[in-house]
Amino acid sequence: MVLPGPWKHIVNISKGLKELGLDLENGFRREVKEGNNTLFWIDHWCGDSSFHVRFPLLFQLETQKWCSVSDRLIMHDGEICGQWVWFRVPTCQVEIEELRGLLLACQPVRLVSGVDRFVRSFDEEKFFSVKSFKAKMEAIVGSDIGYLIEWNNFVPKKVGILAWRAEIERIPVLMALTKRNVNLESIWCPVCGDAEETAEHLLGSCRFAQALWNGIANWCKVPVIYAFSTRDVLELYKYCHFSKQKAKIFQAVCLTTVWCIWKARNAAVFERKPVNRCNLIGEIRVRSFLWVRNRSKNTRISWEKWRRFDIENI
């Protein structure tokens, strides 16, 4: 079977983790309550593996292979009873042995009121959560995952995601497209034309970007900004000696600037629109004001104060 797209990568990750001692396939099982949401044969819910693996001949005889636990097991006078629907009754010795094993496996089961759910079987903690699973993976694989961007809820998530992708050079600038074997007429920066276009150049070392950052520095009353990499841009707010709230607002301005540079770049590439620094600074002011005011829910932020970046007492 050929697995397309992301499923192929998921399967490969699962195989790699299994070699490291984390078996995803058998690491989760269903905890059965009423049995309505658990597949009797397919899901791993009783014993070391799924019933279709442990009892393959009976699985072949089953008429409804996607039946639930409650379809096949019922409680009668406090005991569990099976209600089977076979293509034919198990007759040969091997099938009868499998049926005995199935009945024995089901004997301890009790159906009670409640909702079926996934539980973990590869560590001491019982119930599944993304946080606990991530901790388990980091313990096995290691937690060195590179640079971590500090998320800011004053801007939309798409803005933070763009900044994060830019830092790891995963936005479709011309050099990135070339590495993916895309044929291009030119790989030079469409904004300044002075160097090959990378995310680091576009957001930091491009002379247009440098002039834009100096305009932002003048507006926000911070020292002249020298950004030689995307990470420098994303960490400007850490070195301005602002209060915690003002630093977060300044970080939102920097992220908005990254967003507006990318939009202006795309307009220059696809719509042949010239990039104007003054217009772009005006757009950054307006867009960041609307985002910060609405997302921080701070009604004391007025446009007059924002225009002067007078936000000391908000």
Phi, psi of 285 (to 5 degrees): -60, -50
If pLDDT is split at 50, 70 and 90, which confidence band does 201 have? very high
Mean of pLDDT values over 82-109 = 92
By three-state DSSP, how is residue 237 classified? helix
Of 73, 36, 66, nearest in space to 52 by CA: 66
Residue 19 neighbours by CB distance under 10 Å: 8
Q: What is the pLDDT of residue 131?
A: 72
Average model confidence (pLDDT) across the chain: 87
Q: What is the pLDDT of residue 2?
A: 47
Of 239, 243, 247, 251, nearest in space to 152 by CA: 251
Q: State in Å, rounded, how far the first CA of the chain is from the last one.
A: 60
Handedness of CA 209, 211, 216, 221 (dihedral sign): positive
For residue 198, give the DSSP letter.
Answer: -
Residue 255 neighbours by CB distance under 10 Å: 25
- Span of 2-6, 100-104, 210-214, 306-310 with lowest mean pLDDT: 2-6
Q: What is the pLDDT of residue 48?
A: 83
- Span of 122-136, 194-208, 299-313 with lowest mean pLDDT: 122-136
Structure tokens of 188? 């030079």
Q: What is the pLDDT of residue 142?
A: 62
Phi, psi of 39 (to 5 degrees): -80, 125
> What gap in Å lies between CA 98 and CA 82, rounded to an integer?
14
Q: Cβ distance 206 to 193 under 8 Å? A: no
> What gap in Å lies between CA 284 and CA 180, rounded to an integer?
32
Percent of residues, the chain, with pLDDT higher than 90: 63
Residue with tokens 């060195």: 144
Mean of pLDDT values over 181-201 = 93
Higher-confidence residue of 276 and 314: namely 276
Of 201, 181, 183, 182, nearest in space to 191 by CA: 201
Question: 206: which residues sit within 8 A by CB, 6+ positions away?
Answer: 189, 191, 192, 194, 195
> What gap in Å lies between CA 69 and CA 209, rounded to an integer?
62
pTM of this structure: 0.61
If pLDDT is split at 50, 70 and 90, which confidence band does 123 have? low
Q: What is the pLDDT of residue 1?
A: 44
- 54 by Cβ neighbours in 10 Å (0-12 / 13-18 / 19+) ranks as middle
